[in-house]
Structure 1
Amino acid sequence: MSTELKLSAFKLEGDLISDAVLNARGRTIAWDAWVKRGILTDDEAQSLKRIEDQTSLTDRAQVVLNDGPAYATKLISILSKAGHKDIVRFALVSLIDASVVTGSELPGHVLSTSQIDSSLPYLPLSKLLSSDDEVTRYLSAYILTILLTNDNDSHKNHDALLLELFDLLSVDLLSNTEVSVQYIGIQLLKELLTIKEYRTLYWEYEAKYFPNLLKVFKDFKGELQMKYQTILAVWLLTFSRKSITDINNKYPDLIGALYNVAKDAVKEKIVRLAIGALVNLLNIDSNKERVVKQYLLCNGLETTKQLIDRKWADEELKSDLNVLLETLNEAVSILTTFDEYENELKTKKLVWSPPHKSDEFWYENLDRFKENNWKLLKELVSLLDLPDLDQEQSYQNEAIVCFDVSQLIKVAPESAKALNKIGGKAKIMSLMTSPNSNVKFEALRTTQQLVAHTL
């Protein structure tokens, strides 16, 4: 897939600013009063009134487009004065309405104001990013995004402005508890990430920006379109060696989250992006075996097989699924079951992988569990004391620890005494009152074995 998805006429979706925008389009403003106060020139006021006098959004945009160069200069000049918020909003909305018309040349005209003053058009718009008015901040971010994704000359020359914009989108908006605010941030961020140079700059500050995007991605609140926009932003970030390496090292949870999206998504376009990102993340220069193990720990092989069995229209999606299947099948044939089990202990997130339920595994690897005074048993029991796991993973760890201890007692009854010495018996017995039925069942069964072998 191409990573250059430049969408110069994208339209911001969502209800958060709709009332304010409609206000800006439809509210009757006393332009003469602003002229008398010296906030607008008579020519500026007449130009804005010509827009206001139109009854439809299409006609308003057309007024601006009919005299694009002049309106670009006037609207930017008005914004440079940063006058009353009603005027600022009206000017911003007028710019946006005319910019998102298919084939609009207005962004180019606005960018050409730099020939009048090199600080234009970006300086006045960047100042509005810190406005006290929430709607003004969002609208200025919107038009800045349109301009930056249309400005070929700026791709390497506006780092400070981009970082200011990334701060607003990735820190303020994506960390907001309101889904509608997050949606604005996702839409604008996704547009900026279609530009390679902007992705590179964004990833230089990934520790500051990416965790909020990842959280929104994993929480997946909101409507289908927000899900698509979010995964598109994540997918775009998987096209550089640096981000791939960092994601695999610092954010391995993304792999499981992508598989969950692919498995549960109704729309093929969302599945395509999730699988595409998973394929991209395998293009790592080093430690690929460790990365592939993470795919297997997320039940990736089984999920990939299930997805292949579904009917897809997209040939690239089919191809990517086959690449995943081939890679994971090859890994399974190479990795030993003990490697798989040991990796689970290291990640501290157990899954119901084949080693747990294989009697042969426990007989074949008993000596490894006995080594260093039952070191692996201690590591296993320590998984019952992890405070930072989400509830679902915590329950899964507890159930599997209980099950594994019961498997170990079957092949080595003396392990019950070793477990008692490290306090594991008391911890397992306490789980018999767990609110989770699976944990309660496994704890009860294992406690019965412990009691039988420690009497």
Structure 2
Amino acid sequence: MLSAEAPLVDTAVLDSNNNDTTINDTPTPAPDTATSSLIEDVTLTIIAHPYLDELADKIRNEPIPWEGYERAGLITADEVAMIQHVENKSSEEITHVMSEHGLYYAGMYLDLMHKLARVDAVQKVLVMIQDMLNEHDERIVLFHQASEGRPGYPFAPFHKALRINDEFIGIQSSKLLALLVCSTKNRDIDIDDFFRWMTFQLQSRNPSLIELNIQILDALFHIPAYRKSFWNTLHAMDSFINVLKKGTSNPQVTYEAVFALWLLTFDEEIAANLNRKYDVIPMLVEIAKSAVKEKIIRVVVATFKNLVEKAPKANLSAMLVAKLLPFTEHLHTRKWSDQEVVNDIDLIQAELQNNFQSLTTFEVYASELETGKLEWSPPHQSENFWQKNAVRLNENDHQLLKMLARLLSSNKTEILAIACHDVGQYAKYAGADGKKYLHDLGAKQRVMELMTHEDQEVRYYALSATQKYFAMSS
């Protein structure tokens, strides 16, 4: 049973031979928190990729002049001796050394990360740390033990390394930070700086780096406080959502990205604002429809469940607009290996059906504006609807009218045509102030520009709206 709200203590996983997301079934339970058995064999993402292994192998074979560093006063003779005792040794030899002296090596590696600045030396230290932890993730605890009484440790040396302009140092330090964070109750006070750094990494053109960073987020988001930290980091969510929107041909990467999103939705504030800011509901519907792996659909469904349970008012209407109800009806007919998926689908379907029956026509229309998913539904074409509701677009400082005005810049012709039509209906029924509001928002000017649009339907409704606008002013 996976508890996404549980603090993961001493459960960090490192496996360089497995690039799939796996989770054990021993998370520390958190009292009075929401739980989910989305995938019973998952608790913490493995942070691994062949690309990272290839970089490490190249660095491992490069000689480093440690004696020269000693003569320069950068490291001590004892440190040189300890390095040479494990450098380029077999895993069996390293295991023997670490079983007796692991705590001393953890302390030395932290010191080296803190005081060294040369790229080749820092790379080598990071590879030695990886060799220390390989198939022995429990040794990560040694870094915490070696940091007792040392303010900022064990996190600070790896934060320092992030400032070095090197791809391997950046991603390997990030991975170790994630493992350190997820293996202690102590919080990394510089996590905001870490997330700012990751924001840029998520914009990389290297898909391997993006996947590794998504895996790191999967690990960090198991800790509730870090979800909010990432959410509040400038441009962090934009970079993350762009990864999802661009899509990938790799089902594993898609799964890892949606898994991170699912973890974020355990936070009520995030669940309430996620779709409003990033329009994720229709995107998730499309991901589930095109998924070839059942686990992708499962994590999408679990995300919808969180959105329904944590923030129903913010999400149910948008789900109806995205046609999630008929999609859940389709999912209900499929065979599932996990009964909890069936339960989640039933819950979502029931909530959507109840919400659909209670929605007024105006709420349906408002949801279309809020999501930007205009279509020729009955409200648009009903004169009675506009007679009753045109002035309601002025409520809350013209919030809905502003949304309608923004849709006049859509890159989709159907949305442009519908938006022009609606502006015309608003101008016709909103009263004497309607003209002024449209002018102030720039909607009048934009509609007039659309009279020369290449699409015939857009031109027609733009002309019609313009005529209604000027008829209103006469």
Letter in 2 for 1:214: I
Within the candidate set 85, 92, 101, 1:50 is matched to 85
1:12 corresponding residue in structure 2: 47
Equivalent pair of 1:272/1:317 in contact (CA under 8 Å): yes
The alpha carbon displacement at 1:447 in A equals: 9.4
CA-based RMSD = 4.1
Residue 214 (structure 2) pairs with residue 186 (structure 1):
yes
1:172 Cα offset (Å): 1.7
Q: Deviations over 1:8-46 (max 9, x none)?
A: 123433455444322222223343333333333333223
For 2:152 and 2:449, locate their aligned partners in 1 and report how far apart those are by CA, in whole Å: 66
1:195 corresponds to 2:230: no
**Deviation sequence 1:166-201 (CA, Å, 0-9, x none):** 1111x2211334333322321212211111232243
SS state of the match for residue 77, structure 1? helix
Q: Which residue of 1 aligns with 2:238?
A: 211
Matched residue, 1:315? 339
Alignment of 1:167-316 (within 5 A): 167-169=196-198, 171-203=199-231, 205-221=232-248, 223-248=250-275, 250-251=276-277, 253-284=279-310, 288-289=312-313, 291-316=315-340
- Structure 2 stretches of 5 or more lacking a match? 15-45, 426-443, 467-474
Structure 2 residue aligned with 1:362: 382
SS at match of 2:75: coil
CA-CA distance at 1:303 after TM superposition = 1.9
CA shift, 1:387, in A, is 7.0
Alignment of 1:22-421 (within 5 A): 22-54=57-89, 58-59=91-92, 61-62=94-95, 65-67=98-100, 68-101=102-135, 103-115=136-148, 117-152=150-185, 154-155=186-187, 158-159=188-189, 161-169=190-198, 171-203=199-231, 205-221=232-248, 223-248=250-275, 250-251=276-277, 253-284=279-310, 288-289=312-313, 291-345=315-369, 347=370, 349-352=372-375, 354-355=377-378, 362=382, 365=385, 367-368=387-388, 386=406, 391-392=411-412, 395-398=413-416, 400=418
Give the counterpart letter for 2:285 in structure 1: Y
Which residue is 2:3 aligned to?
2
Instruction: State the 1:150 CA deviation.
Output: 0.5
1:401, distance to aligned residue in structure 2 (A): 5.6
Tell me, in whole angstroms, the C-alpha distance in 2 between the residues paired with 1:39 and 1:241: 49
Change (3 A) 1:380 1:230: closer
Higher relative contact order (CA 8 A, sep 6+): 2
For 1:24-77, what per-residue CA distance to the aligned partner results, in whole angstroms no more than 9, with x for missing partners?
Answer: 2222334333333333333322332233342x5x44753553331122122222
Cα–Cα, structure 1 residues 246 and 381, in superposed 2: closer, same or farther, change >3 Å? closer
After TM superposition, the structure 1 stretch with the greater mean CA deviation from structure 2, 70-79 or 14-23, is 14-23
Structure 2: which amino acid aligns with 1:2? S
1:106 CA drift (Å): 1.6
Task: Give CA-to-partner distance per residue, 1:219-268, whole Å, 9 cap, x none.
Answer: 223622221221111111111222223325x4251222222222222112
Alpha-carbon spacing, 1:39–1:271, altered in 2? closer, same or farther (3 Å): same
- State how many pairs are aligned: 416
SS at 1:333's partner residue?
Answer: helix
Give ranges in structure 1 of 5+ residues lacking alignment: 408-421, 435-439, 451-455
Provide Cα deviations, 1:299-335, integer angstroms capped at 9, x if missing partner: 1212222222222212221111111111111122222
The separation in 1 between residues aligned to 2:460 and 2:287, in whole angstroms, is: 34
* Structure that is richer in helix per residue: 1
- Decide which moves more: 222-231 or 59-68: 59-68
The 1-side partners of 2:314 and 2:152 are apart by 49
1:406–1:211 Cα change, 3 Å? closer
One-letter code of the match for 1:261?
A: I
Question: What amino acid sits opposite 2:237 in the alignment?
Answer: F
Moved over 6 A (4+): 379-385, 402-407, 422-429, 441-448
- 8 Å CA contact retained: 1:238, 1:277: yes
Secondary structure, aligned partner of 1:150: coil
TM-score, normalising length: structure 2:
0.73
Structure-2 separation of matches of 1:141 and 1:383: 40
